[in-house]
Amino acid sequence: MQYKSPENNQQFEDIAKVGPKLDVMFGAGAAASLVLDYRDGRFRFKVKAGLCFGPGAKGELGLEVDLNQIASFLQWFFHALLNAGFEFVEVVTERAYKAAMRLQVLMVNEVEKAYEQLETRWLRFQESFGREADRITLMEKVLASPDILRHCTPEAHGILLWELSRHGKLTKSAFLWENSEGWEVLGRRKRAIMQILEWQQCRSQFNNTVQHMHPEGEKGDFNTNMTHLINFMEIGPGDSEYDQNLWNLYTGLPETPPKGYPVVLNTTHQFWLNAQFEESPEYFAQIRAKTEVVV
């Protein structure tokens, strides 16, 4: 199974290969032509044969994502969300969505064997939440801007924002200098938060990300969470500019994301050039031409 990658010069990349029997993978309710689930430690697709071989083809195919395909798979997963306006994608089960979200958070934190032992690694990772030293480590990784950040779901970004914006006595005392930058109190933490928000491709993605500021990515109230973020950005004896920068970033985002382009930071000239066109004419012309040939 392949998808046409905007990230790799519009080349087709493998995201899954033939896997185990379908009766083990999916329940009776999985009647759609294409379904993505997470079961037995793997992302698995059920595909109607007609989607691959044309009208009239009988049967179904079972495919799974292996370790070598996980990066391309997560790219496809994000672009599927982006093209759907960051609404829930019906072909993805809730279990698969939650697994992808957790995997992305673990990958940002560079947890070893995250895909191979996802449930175990996630439980161990959750135990570290609330430790100021671990927040410093997360801050450092976000500031290094690992490539996985660009393709995170809003829920994964929300979990990272939740952790980075927690603070207490240790944040402003024993760990003050690690978190700060020059005269900006907690300046490095604020910059890490902005780094995540600069990957938001449109207003709806930003809204979803802030709504899901929670240790498990659960949905909350946008206004409450946004107020918390702005208050965090204002911390310090001086007049910080981070709160206004955050608000300006949010209000300046386009309503719909650029589609068919590589994902880039929303602070770049390339992002706004792509946003003017909304959809990549070249990318979608090739996709539509391919669809017409198959039909």
Over the chain, what is the mean pLDDT? 87
For 8, residues 6+ apart whose C-beta sits below 8 A from its C-beta are none
pLDDT in tens, 120-137: 999 999 887 778 888 999
pTM of the model: 0.89
Task: Indicate the residue type of 159.
Answer: I
Predicted confidence (pLDDT) per residue in 30-88, tens digit: 556 788 999 889 999 988 776 666 676 677 788 899 999 999 999 999 999 998 888 87
The string of pLDDT tens digits covering residues 162-213 is 999 988 777 776 677 788 888 888 999 999 999 999 999 999 999 999 999 9
Percent of the chain at pLDDT > 90 equals 57
Per-residue b/e over 251-290, b at no fewer than 16 CB within 10 Å? Answer: eebbeebbbbbbbbbbeeeebeebbeeebbeebeeeeeee
Determine the average pLDDT of the residues in 249-264.
Answer: 95
Partners of 259 in the β-ladder? 279
* Chain length of the chain: 295
